[in-house]
């Protein structure tokens, strides 16, 4: 079965700050594209497919929200990620928590620097 996530977009009001937040958190470089009324910064491809992007637009409704869809991203180590999140203007909403199902690892939920609620999953 294919992954059920086709693509995700994380809205931003401060595009550059949000890029810095996620590049710091995951230790990656996001590829930016400026389309005039819309800007996107793409996460690195996985198996040749880009999983998602940071999105900003002067015309479309890309507004950060704590009440919107919860996207959960994989991370090597939640213990490492938590101080990076806090250092870059994020806030931990649910601390690192063991998932009760067998072999599922851990999760946490945080508010990013733009006010989006985002989850992390890790096997460690």
Per residue in 38-80, pLDDT tens? Answer: 899 999 998 888 889 999 988 777 788 888 778 899 999 999 9
Question: Residue 90: its pLDDT value, please?
Answer: 97
The residue length of the chain stands at 124
Each residue's pLDDT tens digit, 27-40 = 999 999 998 888 99
Question: Residue 47: its pLDDT value, please?
Answer: 85
Give, in order, the Cα–Cα distances in Å from 65 to each of 33, 62, 85.
23, 9, 17
Q: CB under 8 Å to 22, separation ≥6 — which residues? A: 10, 28, 30, 41, 43, 54, 112
- Report how far residue 70's alpha carbon sits from residue 79's, in angstroms, rounded to the nearest whole number: 20
Question: Residue 4: its pLDDT value, please?
Answer: 61
Q: Are 31 and 43 in contact (CB under 8 A)?
A: no
Helix (H, G, I), strand (E, B) or coil at 122: strand
């Amino acid at each position: 079965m294919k992954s059920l996530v086709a693509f995700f977009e994380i809205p931003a009001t401060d595009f550059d700050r949000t890029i810095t937040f996620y590049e710091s958190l995951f230790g990656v470089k996001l590829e930016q594209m400026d389309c005039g009324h819309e800007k996107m910064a793409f996460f690195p491809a996985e198996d040749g497919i880009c999983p998602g992007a940071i999105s900003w637009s002067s015309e479309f409704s890309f507004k950060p929200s704590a009440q919107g869809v919860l996207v959960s991203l994989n991370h090597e180590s939640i213990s490492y990620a938590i101080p990076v999140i806090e250092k870059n203007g994020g806030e931990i909403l649910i601390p690192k928590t063991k998932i009760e199902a067998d072999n599922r690892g851990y999760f946490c939920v945080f508010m990013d620097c733009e006010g989006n609620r985002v989850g992390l999953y890790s096997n460690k």
